[in-house]
Chain A
Amino acid sequence: MSDDKNDPVEIFRGHVELDYQYTAGVSASRFLRAVEQGKFLGQKCPVDGRVYFPSRGSCPMHAVPFGDDSTVELPDKGTVVTYSIVRVPSENIPLELPYITVQVLIDGADTALGHVLDANLDDVRMGMRVQAKWKPKSEWTTSMANIEYFVPIDEPDADYETYKEHI
């Protein structure tokens, strides 16, 4: 960090690379195969019936596995439970600033999903009804990035009481 080549080096920027082999696992693989077909799968806890979305194999509250019969198909519509407008760049995030991050409670699910929303910055609000905007079918892979973003839909806002426990 010095202009003079005779000054000692105090700090320099290096590059470290690590390659990982990532295995999704049984439950996430089933979920991602469905996303590849344009479908949302959740899993119902056998103890309290709460639906986890994305499905995750086991219940963190009751420490029980979700059996094969626990899978439920869900719609691609939901409610914005909370949000933020992000104006800070981050190297790992390819989105244009500003963008809206949302926690969406998919209809029929009991856990919220983090994604992005394409809407007028002044319009976004808690309780807003939204739906997934899928990429063209030819681009679908086993990734939640198949959904380009969520978009507002013409439905009355959800009542705060119906989603407040998911914030």
Chain B
Amino acid sequence: MAELTAVVGIGQTKYQSKHLDHSMPSLVRVAAEKALADADCTWADIDAVILGKAPDMFEGVMMPELWLNDAIGGAYKPMLRVHTAGSVGGSTGIVAASMVQSGIHERVLCVAFEKQSESNATWALSISMPFSLASVAGAGGYFAPLVRGYMRRSGAPEDTGIRVAVKDRQNALKNPLAHLQLEDISFDMVANSPMLWDPIRYLETCPSSDGACAMVMESEALASKRSNKVAWIHATEMRSEPTQFSGRDQVMPQATLDNSKALYKKAGITNPRKELDCAEIYVPFSWFEPMWMEGMRIAPINEGWKMTYEGATALDGDFPVNMSGGVLSSNPIGASGLIRFAEAARQVRGIADAHQVDGAKKALGHAYGGGSQYFSTWIVSSEKP
């Protein structure tokens, strides 16, 4: 039986298009210091450090964990780098938790970041390979055909994606850390924004952000002594599958269905829609909200769009999703998964301020990456299991 582990500190930078006020080391440092302050700890209290970020090619700095080790307090301590494409933030949280769950460490710090202003993600994701024809333009070019596949098989109304985009940006207005703050966001504004990768519109995509997120996690023995609320980790799960094999369902990959099934089994959950109070789901293109509602077994297959349509996923709905504004409002890629995990923890600690879901006790954090092939998830609660 693994050691019970809790999130006791959370730190985030403001997410914005350019952090000219921070180098990469100072960006991760700011998030880490905020997490330490929230946990009422000093650098000396940390046993090990875990760093996560998306492909090194983005910023062109290879193995940045070596360069950033001093900034995240890793000198003379065990330090580990995590990399699982877009899901890396989630995986970073899970790896950090495993360091405590396994009994190896008592208290660990994890940090994830991206500095998109110093990188060109679309370029890095549109690599011209020898002997082939380069035609896939960035992540949007990759995912647009899959979104079309989902629309065809589910029969979802064409404005489903627009509704998700409006809802997440409205939520972002309640989160001062969110990058996009679109005061006049409306259905028409999204609907009239240019088609970039048909059927994905400009305002149905995530922004490019700079930012970092950090968390402190500790053992039950330490966390139980705290007087403030902590987030107990009930279950974590990671699943992946190859990018291409015959019969692969790219719209609803087996890995996401296996991931959600295993996660709920570990957490003792039989009806996720009823037993979870809210979720932070990795939605970089609006249509992935209904798709992952199905992948996470919160909605039946081909019916995820109904939750969006009925308002269930709104902040005042019966199953709020992306209360913080989500990836659609802030996307420092490598950090985006860890932000989902951290925001789930903020909800159950009751410290999510204006985007708090009243009385949230159990929340889901979710990240995915690659060609819809890497999945990282966790469930946190205000109560011990």
Contact = CB atoms under 8 A, between A and B. Distances in A.
A64 interface: no
B351 interface: no
A145 B132 contact: yes
Contact of A84 (B18, B141, B244): B141
Interface residues of B, number: 44
B242 A60 contact: yes
Interface in B184-219: 194-200
B130 A167 contact: no
A38 to B, nearest CB: 15
Contacts of A52: 246
B284 to A, nearest CB: 15
Task: Give the most central of A24, A84, A147, A167: most B CB within 10 Å.
Answer: A84
Contact of B146 (A82, A91, A147): A82
A92 B20 contact: no
Contacts of A164: 153
A92 B134 contact: yes
A103 B136 CA distance: 11
A61 B246 contact: yes
A88 B137 contact: yes
A93 B145 contact: no
A87 B135 contact: no
B250 A115 contact: no
Contact of B130 (A22, A82, A95, A114): A22
Contacts of A82: 145-146, 148-149, 152
A111 B246 contact: yes
Contacts of A89: 137
Interface residues of A, number: 50
B118 interface: yes
Contacts of B250: 167
B137 A1 contact: no
Interface string B140-166: 110011101100110000000000000
B133 A92 contact: no
B131 interface: yes
Contacts of B149: 81-82, 167
A45 interface: yes
Given A87-B195, A92-B127, A103-B145, A145 B133 contact: yes
Interface string A69-106: 00000000000011111111111111100010101000
Contacts of B245: 59-61, 111
Contacts of A160: 152
A84 B117 contact: no
A159 B149 CA distance: 15
B146 A99 contact: no
Contacts of A11: 18, 20, 117-118
Task: Give the most central of B194, B198, B242, B247: most A CB within 10 Å.
Answer: B198
Interface of B: 18, 20, 60, 117-118, 120, 122-123, 126-128, 130-138, 140-141, 144-146, 148-149, 152-153, 194-200, 242, 244-247, 249-251
Given A60-B242, A88-B122, A93-B128, 12 more contacts: A32-B131, A48-B246, A61-B247, A82-B146, A84-B145, A86-B141, A87-B194, A88-B137, A92-B127, A93-B126, A94-B134, A143-B132
